Amino acid sequence: MNFAIVGCGFIAKKHAQAIENIEEAKLIAVCDKVTAAMKYYTETYGATPYTEMTDLLEDEQLDVVCICTPSGLHAPLAEAAAKAKKHIILEKPIAMTLAETDRIIKACHENKVKLAVVHPNRFRPVVQELRNILDKGLLGKISHASCIVNWNRNQEYYDQAPWRGTKQYDGGVLMNQAIHNLDLLLWFMGQAEQVFSMEATRLRNIEAEDVSTGVIRFKSGALGTVQAATTVYPRNYEESITIFGEKGTIKIGGANALYFEHLQIEGMTETEAQALKEKVKSDPWGTPGHQHIVSDMIEAIKEERNPAVTGEDGKRALELVLAFYESAELNQPIELKEGDYACR
C-alpha cells in the first residue's frame, strides 16, 4: 500500500523507517510547507514532494496518510484526508480538543476510512506481557496503580520550534509526553470516572505545564496516581507504571518503562518470574511501535476491521488529559463526562 507523510519534522522519520521496513508498504509522497524539510525524504525514499495538502490528496495511488504535524493542526488535515478517502495514521495526541476529535472521528466514519492513533508504547514487549497477565486475571482485584514520567526536556528542546510548549499547538508534559502513559493506564485499568490534579510551570520558559501531579478514580473503584515532569536534571530518570492487586504487584520501569522492575504474583515461582524478566530484557524494545502501527493499518484495511489503536482510544487519552487540565485550573475534582473539556 502507498503511504504519504504530512509534516516532515522529527517524528516523521520514525514513520518513514517503519514504512521502509514493511514489505507491503511504500512511501510515495511527503508534504510540508517548508521545501527543505522534505529533501531527506525525496532523496532517501524517492518520495514526491508537495507543499499543499490538497495537491497531495489528489494522488489516486495514495492509500494511507501519516499526519505528523504539530498537534493543533491535526483536525483540519485529518478531516481533509478522510474526505479524500485516504486512511489515516495520526500522531498523538489525536487533537487538542474533544470537539476537534469528534470531527475527525465523524469524518472517518462518514467516509469509511480507517483511523489509527499513534500510541506505540502498547506494543513494547513488557507492556504486552503485563496486559497478558491482567487479561488472565492473575493479579485478582486491583487496588490501585501509579504512573510516573520524570523526564528531561531542556529549554533547547522547547526552543526548536515556536509551537513547542504552547497551549494551542502542543500542550505541556501531560499532552505531549505523558499521554502515552495515560493511554497505557486506561488500557490496563479501564475507564476513569474522576480526577483531581495540580500543575505548574516551574523551570521551562513555556506557556503550558512542565510538571503535573494528579489522582484518578476508575469506574472499577480502583485508584491511580499520576506524576509527570520534563524538569528532571540532567536526563530522563524514570518512566514507570505499577499495578497493585490482591494477588500480585507488578512494576514496569526504567528510564523508558522497558523492564519488569518488580514482578511478584501468587503462585508464580521466583524462577518463573526471573525467566519472564529475562525474556523481556533480551529484547526490550522489540519491533518499533510505529512499525506495528503501520503494519496493523495494512492488515486492518485488508481484513476490514478497526486498527489496534482507534480514534476512540485516542479520544479517551485526550479526555483524561483535558480533565486534569480543568481540575488544575479550577482546583477541584472533575467528573469525566464525555465532551465537557476544551483545551485552555
**CB neighbour burial string for 293-303, b if at least 16 within 10 angstroms, e if fewer:** bbbbbbebbee
DSSP letters, 308-337, are SS-HHHHHHHHHHHHHHHHHHHHTS-EE--
Residue keyed to cell 508534559: 173
Please state, in angstroms and as integers, the Cα–Cα distance from residue 15 to each residue in 124, 313, 319, following that order: 17, 20, 25
d(CA 88, CA 5): 10
pLDDT value at 341 more than 60: no
Q: Which of 170-184, 223-237, 304-318, 329-343 has the lowest mean pLDDT?
A: 329-343
Angle at 259 between CA 21 and CA 198, to 5 degrees: 100
Residue 340 pLDDT: 46
CB distance 291 to 277 below 8 Å = no
Rounded mean pLDDT, 317-332:
97
DSSP letters, 231-243, are B-SSS--EEEEEE
d(CA 243, CA 188): 9
Rounded mean pLDDT, 92-100:
97
DSSP, res 152: B
SS3 of 176, please? helix
CATH of domain 125-286+319-328: 3.30.360.10
SS3 of 143, please? strand
CATH of domain 2-120+290-308: 3.40.50.720
d(CA 9, CA 136): 40
pLDDT value at 339 more than 60: no
Residue 338 pLDDT: 54
Q: Using 50, 70 and 90 to split pLDDT, how confident is the model at 344?
A: very low
Residue 337 pLDDT: 73
CB distance 284 to 258 below 8 Å = yes
**CB neighbour burial string for 18-30, b if at least 16 within 10 angstroms, e if fewer:** bbeebeebbbbbb
Q: Read off the pLDDT of residues 173-213 as tens digits, 9 standing for 90 and up.
A: 999 999 999 999 999 999 999 999 999 999 999 999 999 99
Q: How many other C-beta atoms can be found within 10 angstroms of the C-beta atom of residue 136? A: 9
d(CA 260, CA 243): 12
Average pLDDT, the chain: 96
pLDDT value at 252 more than 70: yes
Domain ranges for the chain, please list them: 2-120+290-308, 125-286+319-328
Looking only at the bridges linking them, the beta strands covering 64-67 and 2-6 are: parallel
pTM: 0.95
CB distance 148 to 173 below 8 Å = no
Rounded mean pLDDT, 146-168:
96
β-strand partners of 4: 29, 65
